[in-house]
Amino acid sequence: LSLSLVMFDLDHFKQTNDKFGHLAGDYVLKETCELIKNKMIRSQDALGRYGGEEFALLLRETPLRIAVEVAERIRSTIEKHRFLFDEQSVPVTISMGVVSLDSTAKSPDAFIAMADKALYDAKNSGRNRVCVR
């Protein structure tokens, strides 16, 4: 069984809320999820909000190489998508961390922690990118 996890969050989301308002922030969160859920992943994959503007995407029967391709396609799509709220264009990018389940993850928490570290790497190395652990 190949299982991959993608953790991602919206870059500088607090600034989006501060500049465009919380309704715009809500719109961006919903639009991002709709794009991913309806156009970017399969029905057997699971997308969920992990907290705040952080999300988890579980890719069933997906090896790491494919998971990275999926993550990059999502990242690129979000970056190019025109988020329009109250006739204002809201710039949105996301940072993503990708891991696959292997023998080093001793528990679900360890698996999530590995993905979180990869996400942290993406944010620390400039955001709007996919990092792998």
Which is catalytic among the residues 31, 53, 72, 87? 53
Q: Are 91 and 80 in contact (CB under 8 A)?
A: no
Q: State how beta strands 130-132 and 94-100 pair.
A: parallel
| Known catalytic membership, residue 79 | no
Residue (of 6, 4, 25) closest to 16 by Cα position: 25
Q: Measuring CA to CA, how many Å separate 26 from each of 10, 52, 53, 65, 87?
A: 12, 11, 10, 32, 15
**Catalytic positions:** 53
